[in-house]
Amino acid sequence: MANFVMVNSGHNRDDEADKLGMWLFLFTELLLFGGLFLVYTIYRYLNADAFLHASYELNVIMGTVNTIVLLTSSLTVAMSITAIQKGDTKMALTLIWSTIAFAGVFLVIKYFEWTAKFEHGLFPGMEHYNMLEPGEKLFFFLYFFMTGFHGLHVIIGGIILLFVIAAIRKGETNQGKFIFLENGALYWHLVDLIWIFLFPLFYLIH
């Protein structure tokens, strides 16, 4: 009995350390994106009219759909934690796969969005882009950089969840030990949170 208590306490300490490590990592990510948001805010203040004019080139419908997709994905990954806590491994896996599928939908929509901008020559370095006003150039540079950086985080989040799936199938993540899933879900919520800020900053200026 004493040995069980000692082992259980050890697991609890490991879980708390893992969770603390994830929160510290997420904090550094928030600082990074916070800096980008600050840069955006300054340039938008200095180029208000140009940012407004450039924002009309963005597809608000696609941006709205992607917002709904990510919000739904945050729901499914949160539900997967509840499922594994109840010992329903099959449902947990289904919900995690659903989250990854939503990530794929988000990236596909973003691909079509970016493709449209390429066709209109709005990507930095293209001929039409070089003819824009300085303020509009800044808008599209920040748009591609910040949404592209966020897209990279979506991909990383999806890969993390694939590792979580593998851990569940191996039995390493289960009803009694699901910190890996919790940390993966925390990262995914960060991805969602960042987009909630990006969406109005770029798409809803007008």
Q: Is the pLDDT of residue 4 over 70?
A: no
Q: Determine the Cα–Cα distance for residues 137 and 54; give it in Å rounded to an integer.
A: 9
Place of tokens 């569940």: 168
- Would you place residue 5 in the very low, low, confident or very high pLDDT band (cuts 50, 70, 90)? very low
Count Cα neighbours of 39 within 13 Å in the Cβ-side half-sphere.
13
Domain count for the chain = 1
Q: Is the pLDDT of residue 12 over 80?
A: no
Query: What CATH number is associated with residue 29?
Result: 1.20.120.80
Domain range for 106: 2-203
Sign of CA pseudo-dihedral 59, 61, 65, 68: positive
Average pLDDT over residues 152-173: 96
Q: Is pTM beyond 0.75 here? A: yes
